[in-house]
Amino acid sequence: MCGRRGCAGAHASGPATLRHAAAGRGRPVSYQEPREGALNRVPRAVGAVEFGCAAPAVAVTGVVEPVQPELVIVGGGFAAGVPGFVDVFEARPVCLARPGRPLPPLRLAALGGESSLHRAVLAARDRLLLTQGHPADRSE
């Protein structure tokens, strides 16, 4: 989560989903509760997962139309750890999509919970290489 107001991560992250679930329960909610609740199709847990899917679904729908990717990868620890997260997530953009514009398939990231951190590290490395240049690229 980046910390900006309105950021999809502020609403879509595991911690944000747990805060939403806790507000509904009136007490703190552990990660295990929505995970087990999703497995057992407990309505309260399914509702918390659906809440966590809403913001990224809007973001994905908004990006997919102009970019037209062949595939959308869903990553992060919450997505990897909550059974059925991708199925719940996939249903949201379908409801938001423009008629006649099919959405690409959604898949869970191969790195699961490590995918967000891994991509952030790669992005930082790439930015560093662009701003400072790679030592092998310098002419001596």
CB 74 within 8 A of CB 85: yes
Read off the pTM.
Answer: 0.62
Instruction: Supply angle C-alpha 4, 76, 2, rounded to 5.
Output: 10
Report the alpha-carbon distance of residue 36 to residue 30 in Å, rounded: 10
Question: pLDDT for 39-92, tens place per residue?
Answer: 888 888 788 878 877 777 888 888 888 888 888 888 777 777 777 777 877 777
pLDDT at 106 over 80: yes
